[in-house]
Amino acid sequence: MTTPSDVLLPPDADPRLGPVLSGLTACLCAVLADGGRPACACCLVWGASPPAQDFCACDCDGGHGQAWVRVVRQEPVTANQDRRRRCQTWRMQTVIELGVARCVAVVAPDGQSAPTCEQREADVWGLVLDQRLLLEAAACCDALSGVQVWPGPVAPMGPQGGCAGVTVQITVEV
């Protein structure tokens, strides 16, 4: 369990990656809100896969769903490595995922009535807008200025359990 005295500032955790992750999270949350698609939860998360859709059904102050930033993996950059006398210096390429999940239309409580085409299309267009906003957050974030960035895959998630979403990955070198 984390207590307030245990909380690290991003540069304390990692002086190169920390500011990138915290800045990218702030950019994502702001871009979604400015784009009219705020999320109830918008945070930096840890895990081998996207977070559980705990906030998918959440409605809050004009928003719904959840958004996240997470580290997918890190790999060393092996070309032209400089060596220090006592410690190795490694540059890392970090794959970062930005994602959002929202409620989508499901079968009605009677178990018989499937979502209409209009409901499904409304969900699609909302998620297409989310995809555009995720790409904008990654492309326009000041936290990435001065950092080598490469675009990665964009992929839909779900639907599953009434949730669907989209993820965007980027690779940064820090």
Q: What DSSP string runs through 107-143?
A: --TTS--PPPHHHHHHHHHHHHHHHHHHHHHHHH-GG
Contact 50, 97 (CB under 8 A): yes
Pairing mode, if any, of strands 59-60 and 63-64?
Answer: antiparallel
- pLDDT tens-digit profile of 64-96? 899 999 999 998 887 655 555 566 667 789 999
pTM given for the model: 0.86
Distance in angstroms (rounded) separating the CA atoms of residues 57 and 151: 30
84 exposed, middle or buried (CB, 10 Å; 0-12, 13-18, 19+)? exposed
Q: From the centroid of its chain, how far is CA 9?
A: 20
pLDDT along the chain (174 residues), means of 10: 66 87 96 95 93 76 89 83 61 93 86 88 96 97 94 93 93 92
Contact 164, 158 (CB under 8 A): yes
Instruction: Residue 56: name the closest of 70, 41, 66 by CA.
Output: 66
